[in-house]
Structure 1
Amino acid sequence: MAFTTGRKLTALLGAALSLTACAGKEERAGVAQNTSGGGWSAGRPVVKVGLIGPMTGPFAVAGVSLENSLKVEVDRINAKGGLGGAKLELVVRDSGLDPAKAVQAANEFTGDDSMGLVVGPALSAFYNAAKGTFESGRKVNCQPMVATGDFGALKYGFRAQDPVSLDVAKMIAHVKAEGVNSIGVVYEGDDAGKGTADEVKAQAEAAGLAWKGFEATRPDDQSHRAYIDKLKDAGAIWISNSSSGAKTMAAASEAGYKGLIVGGSGARNISFVEAAGDAADGALFSATYYPYPSRDARDTWKPGYRRHIEETEKRFGKNAGPKTGAESPKAAEIAADCVLAYTKAAEQARSLDPDAVAAALDKLEISDQETPSGNSISPEKHEFFGMDDIHVYEWKKDDKGWTTVEAGK
């Protein structure tokens, strides 16, 4: 990624920042101390990184992947000396699929002065319930599994995921180029589903595609066949990023649906392939960098991504679908981006003060060669990633099994 001269200059000025209040006050506020070696001290032995995610229940695979990636990145940074001499310590709280538990954990972490960064709570509805606590409590937080909502209005919240607006823009352009002239959405009737449907409708109509409607699913649905039947004439159907999207894929296969199944980055989860079987062949999803599983040699992967994935595989193994054999890493590498970005911002600010760190995060420039996700980080309106980081991938099955390929390449 090419960085602008102005952003480079701002980043360099941020890296040179040094706060000089009295020592006792600095330590209590988390402000850096100058050291005799020209470095800085965090003023404490430990800086905590909190994770709030679904560690149990039907979405636990996401929570475990978040934890694995955070462990790998925390350990990597600690091996290099930590943050201002402090060791990073990961603290995990299980939200299950209960927004009340997510808010409880957010309250706990916000009240802990030794907690520098909070990752999560995963899922848009849960974050919406918790973000007010983070804002009022001045707690820097980073969200790798929240696709909807406006982060530009926040001071302490940053998104490390492709927002639905970018996913939709990339996919609408692709399906239109493929000759698709209509689209509908099957998604949960929650904030994420409504937000996604509104975004797809607005961008589809602006691009000249006919809008076929939004079918809101229910948590107790045993099948999504009825929703597919109502959208059978749509040229494409956008599915949920969460586990229910797999039900939509299975229903489309059962109904013999002939259009395109499309979605956001959640559709890279192998549970979608497991549910739909051969019908997943050709399913499309918009996502940040994801060359896995692919037939490409790993030496073609971006180095930061390869390093992170291979360390995760070494420590935690891989996911493998029992029916299809489709594989995925037990990682959520965009969560590791949160830790990398936070530590770099604190280093540039030479401070753990949340206002100083948030200001430095706004000015970060990190190359896609360095990040665990393989995406550049250049926050704009508190969004880590931009349109250049979004790709359209396609699930493919061949005689060697399942793989993903970048559409159009």
Structure 2
Amino acid sequence: MSVKAGYKVTALLGAALLLTACASKEERAGGRQESSGGGWSAGMPVVKVGLIGPMTGPFAVAGISLENSVKVEIDRLNAAGGLGGAKLELVVRDSGLDPAKAVQAANEFSGDASVGLVVGPALTAFYNAAKGSFESGKKINCQPMVATGSFTDLKYGFRAQDPVSLDVAKMIAHLKSQGVTSIGVVYEGDDAGKNTADEVEKQAVAAGLAWKGFEATRPDDQSHRPYVDKLKDAGAIWISNSSSGAKTMAAANEAGYQGLVVGGSGARNISFVEAAGDAADGTLFSATYYPYPSRDGRDAWKPGYLRHTQEIEKRFGKNTGPKTGAESPKSAEIAADCVFAYTQAAEQARSIDPDKVAAALEKIDIPDTETPSGNSIRIEDHEFFGLDDIHVYQWKKDGEGWHTVEIES
């Protein structure tokens, strides 16, 4: 997978707080048209958006966050006139932690002509099981929680999450700048863990860092201390994107580990801070735009992200860690990006035909001031984001509580 060229838009569009789709098609090549669908028809009164995610079980907080963001974006677009004269309607299916349920939902949506877009199923293994159904059913699908694997060979699948390859590239560059000379990985021994370890090893060696190895954890581990002890000489330890990464944080603190604890975008979740406590202080993670827990004022936030987050807080509130007081919005902004980009592509194509929408998505160009996530969307190889959309943040605790600091943009 190639890494798309960096793309930064510095102009702040205050008008984007109102109606991001109000620009005429002459404003820029491949530009946007009115969300009201002026002059074209979707051919049906309702275009459904299917969402497949873990709405129950231990990952329900992720599924609910996905649903919240998709709801807010659909409501915003409907208030602006919908899509080609049609209203958007959300349909949710719970995958729990069962790949079979994810495939069942994918089959249902793939066979439903009224479904224009499917968001999910969340988690790499579930998507791998379901993507064949989307391809054979010619169903546009967008994946905000699939970090590994390639989308290059897919026609109808697009990734709206920072892939592990970009997270690793950004972090390795930062570690090199800090004089770190070696790295190892502590992660689950599943496909996500193996893929992440392979990516870290490949990029570390290419950058001249010594590879210290991959320690595969198990679900029944009570402590990750043995794994950390084996990597005690590594300049950095890469942790899991799942909640078990907090065990590695705690073990590194307990062991008096002197290197850096680093990870990908999953580490921005306050569940890491809740589980690891003070051991999370100083952890670095690479992720797409995420200013929420920082001490910077909201005036500095990108307009689309600000608009989306304020509406999320108004309707659903925010997550607050009962032990640490750490806060996060009850949202998954990159899921809202899926809906926004899909409707922009359909408006450009003036159609909801999946082949036409897929072709339009491949050419879509949306500045970071307008998207719900605050990231630019300029698709290459069916990836929404590029290296310039990845930042390095650090968890910090002080007398005022937990917050993040942007280390490198």
Q: Distance in 1 between the 2:27 and 2:80 partners?
A: 26
Take 1:363 and 1:48, find their aligned partners in 2: how far apart are those partners? 23
**Per-residue deviation at 1:170?**
0.4
Whether the 8 Å CA contact 2:32–2:344 is kept in 1: the answer is: no
Between the aligned partners of 1:83 and 1:358, the Cα distance in structure 2 is 16
Paired residue for 2:358?
358
Q: CA deviation at 1:216?
A: 1.4
Counterpart Cα distance in 1 of 2:30 and 2:98: 43
Counterpart check, 1:157 vs 2:157: yes
Q: Distance in 2 between matches of 1:94 and 1:224?
A: 32
Tell me, in whole angstroms, the C-alpha distance in 2 between the residues paired with 1:249 and 1:140.
38
SS of the residue 1:407 aligns to:
strand
- 1:21 maps to what in 2? none
Report whether the alignment pairs 1:219 with 2:224.
no
Question: Identity of paired residues, percent?
Answer: 82
Deviations 1:121-158 (A, max 9, x none): 11111111111111111000000111111111110000
Q: Is the 8 A contact 2:30 2:363 kept in 1?
A: no
Structure 1 pair 69/265, CA: closer, same or farther in 2 (3 Å)? same
Q: Which runs of 5 or more residues in structure 1 are unaligned?
A: 17-34
Shift of 1:255: 2.3
Q: How far apart in 2 are the matches of 1:43 and 1:378?
A: 28
CA-CA distance at 1:335 after TM superposition: 0.5
The one-letter code sitting in structure 2 at the alignment partner of 1:204 is A
Residues 328-383 of structure 1 show CA distances to partners (whole Å, capped at 9, x for unaligned) of: 11110010000000000001101111000000000101010000000000000101
Query: Could you say which residue in structure 2 is the equivalent of 1:395?
Result: 395
CA 43–259 in structure 1, closer or farther in 2 if over 3 Å, else same:
same
Asked if residue 115 in structure 1 is aligned to residue 115 in structure 2, the reply is yes
Q: Within 2, Cα distance between the matches of 1:220 and 1:102?
A: 25
How do 1:331-370 and structure 2 match up within 5 A?
331-370=331-370
Letter in structure 1 aligned against 2:334 = I
Write the distance in 1 (CA, Å) between the matches of 2:32 and 2:323.
51
Distance in 1, Cα, partners of 2:263 & 2:95: 25
Root-mean-square deviation (Å): 1.9
Partner of 2:176: 176
Counterpart amino acid of 1:51? L
Structure 1 counterpart of 2:20: none
Q: Which residue of 2 aligns with 1:377?
A: 377
Residue 190 of structure 2 is aligned to residue 186 of structure 1: no
Q: SS of 2:305's equivalent? A: helix
Q: How does 1:231-380 map to 2 (within 5 A)?
A: 231-380=231-380
Match of 1:26 in 2: none
Preserved CA contact (<8 Å) 1:82 1:88: yes
Shift of residue 67, structure 1, vs aligned partner: 0.6
Counterpart AA for 1:94 = D
Partner in structure 2 of residue 102 of structure 1: 102
1:56–1:94 contact (8 Å) kept in structure 2: yes
Do the aligned residues in 2 keep the contact of 1:11 with 1:363 (CA within 8 Å)? no
For the residues of structure 2 that align with 1:225 and 1:79, how far apart are their CA atoms? 53
Displacement after TM superposition at 1:10 (Å): 12
Q: 2: distance between equivalents of 1:376 and 1:13?
A: 15
Q: 1:362 to 1:324 in 2, by over 3 A?
A: same
Specify whether residues 285 and 38 from structure 1 end up closer, same or farther in structure 2 by C-alpha distance, changes over 3 A only: closer
Aligned counterparts of 2:315 and 2:27: Cα–Cα separation in 1 = 38
Amino acid in the other structure paired with 2:103: V
Letter in 2 for 1:325: G
Please report how far the alpha carbon of residue 95 of structure 1 lies from its aligned counterpart in structure 2 after TM superposition: 1.1
Aligned partner of 1:28 in structure 2 is none
Partner of 1:44: 44
Measured in 2, the distance between the counterparts of 1:377 and 1:307 equals 17
User: Corresponding residue for 2:132?
Assistant: 132
Deviation, 1:167, is 0.5
> What is the distance in 1 between the residues matched to 2:302 and 2:38?
33
Kept in 1: contact 2:391–2:408 (CA 8 A) = no
Alpha-carbon offset, residue 9 of structure 1 = 9.3
Alignment partner of 1:40: what SS? Answer: coil
Q: Which residue of 1 aligns with 2:209?
A: 209
* TM-score, normalisation: structure 2: 0.91
Distance (whole Å) between structure 2 residues aligned to residue 101 and residue 251 of structure 1: 35
SS where residue 405 of structure 1 aligns? strand
Partner of residue 142, structure 1: 142
Letter in 2 for 1:72: V
The answer for unaligned runs of 5 or more in structure 2 is: 1-6, 10-24
- Deviation of 1:99 (Å): 1.1
3-state SS in 1 of match to 2:377: coil
Find the aligned partners of 2:225 and 2:235 in 1 and give their Cα distance.
17
Provide the C-alpha distance between the structure 2 equivalents of 1:9 and 1:155, rounded to a whole number of angstroms.
Answer: 28
Q: In the TM superposition, what is the alpha-carbon distance from 1:11 to its structure 2 partner?
A: 7.2
Secondary structure in 2 matching 1:396: strand
- Secondary structure at the counterpart of residue 179 of structure 1: coil
Cα deviation code 1:235-279 (max 9, x no counterpart): 111111112212222222222222111010000000111111112
Q: Distance in 2 between matches of 1:267 and 1:2?
A: 25
Cα drift, residue 293 of structure 1: 0.8
- Counterparts of 2:76 and 2:38, CA distance in 1: 23
In the alignment, the residues of structure 1 paired with residue 221 and residue 51 of structure 2 have an alpha-carbon distance, to the nearest angstrom, of 30
CA distance in 1, matches of 2:316, 2:228: 37
Q: Deviations over 1:304-325 (max 9, x none)?
A: 0000011101111111111111
- Report the residue type matching 1:237 in the other structure: I
Residues 203-256 of structure 1 show CA distances to partners (whole Å, capped at 9, x for unaligned) of 001111111111112222222222112212211111111122122222222222
Distance 1:38 1:286, change over 3 A: closer
